[in-house]
Amino acid sequence: MGTLLQQIANGLIFGGLIAMVALGYTMVYGIIQLINFAHGEVFMTGAFGGLAVYSWLLPPAAQQIWYVALPAMLVGGAIVALVVALLMERFAYRPLRNAPRLAPLITALGVSVFLQEAMRIFFPGASSAVPFPNAFISAPLHIGSVTIPASGLLMLVVSVVLSIVLETYVNGSRMGRAMRATAQDPDTARLMGINPDRVIVLTFAIGAVLAGVGGVLYGTYIHNVDPYIGFQNGLFAFAAAVLGGIGSIRGAVIGAFVIGLIKNIADIWLPGGTAYDYVWIFILLIAVLVFRPQGLFGEVERVRA
């Protein structure tokens, strides 16, 4: 029982991480029907942005104070991820706005590889895993037989809070209504006075900030980063977004926690262990999509005239 509870705790922490990345996938797809495979690399650049702030900008005395170092790293990681995402949208995706869907999809894959290689070549020491500082409380939390690292608990709490804030913003704010209108029909939204370009940029920006924050918290939890963490975690996040119903914020979050739990439980109890966790996750995804192609919380896609 103790092992099961520990794996559930690990799964919830991992699900929290995946949720912050999956939200970017689902929001971008919901607005412009683009599967942005480079979003995982936005997460990766956020992690390296936080590391750069810690290594090169913070004085040694500030590095030792977690409530100074961690917020600075989060801001730095979010800014780097934001800049990367906005440049990506402006120069890689916007010129292909009216192109066939395959063109931006291939472009996204190219941008993903470009960002991986750029980080590997230009960030010092990034040709292999780079140590990431523990910029939070190191003492773990013990609940019975379950041990939860403080950095993992922080990642889970931040993920849930940001998801609730985002859901509230999209459902209750004027810009949120503009985002939903653009997602339903951009041409009609434009006739109603909404600027779809501004909505799309905001969507990329929100997803990037979430990914950047997630990247820094991931590094603090794992204690090392490399240029390929975006691909690995982005794959899980994409599966979570599809499982929950791509385009649905709530679905992405719930899908992320389901993926996290399946991965960690499969590591111990399902055949193949850790080596087969991808297999069990995608078996679940396929099983759900067979009976509910739009995902758990997705809507049936309408064909636009």
DSSP for residue 130: E
For residue 172, the model assigns a pLDDT of: 87
**How confident is the model over 49-72, as a mean pLDDT?**
94
**How confident is the model over 100-126, as a mean pLDDT?**
93
**pLDDT band, very low/low/confident/very high, at 50 (cuts 50, 70, 90):** very high
Tell whether 304 is covered by a domain. no
Tell whether 297 is covered by a domain. no
∠ Cα 27 260 220 (to 5°): 85
Tell whether 301 is covered by a domain. no
**pLDDT band, very low/low/confident/very high, at 58 (cuts 50, 70, 90):** very high
Residue 12 and residue 264: Cα distance in Å, rounded? 9
**pLDDT band, very low/low/confident/very high, at 209 (cuts 50, 70, 90):** very high
**How confident is the model over 269-273, as a mean pLDDT?**
80
∠ Cα 95 100 105 (to 5°): 75
The amino acid occupying position 285 is L
Tell whether 302 is covered by a domain. no
Residue 91, CA distances (Å) to 94, 105, 107, 169, 272 in order: 6, 14, 11, 28, 43
Which pTM does this prediction carry? 0.91
CATH number, residue 100:
1.10.3470
For residue 301, the model assigns a pLDDT of: 58
Tell whether 12 is covered by a domain. yes
Strand segments, DSSP code E, in the chain are 130-131, 141-143, 146-148, 224-225
> Over the stretch 146-176, which tens digit does the pLDDT of each residue have?
999 999 999 999 999 999 999 899 888 898 8
Domain that holds residue 76: 1-291
For residue 303, the model assigns a pLDDT of: 46
State the total domains in the chain.
Answer: 1
Q: Are strands 130-131 and 141-143 parallel, antiparallel or unpaired?
A: unpaired
pLDDT at residue 2 is higher than 80: no
Tell whether 299 is covered by a domain. no
Tell whether 298 is covered by a domain. no
- For residue 119 the two structure tokens come to 């980080």
- What average pLDDT does the chain have? 90
**pLDDT band, very low/low/confident/very high, at 305 (cuts 50, 70, 90):** very low
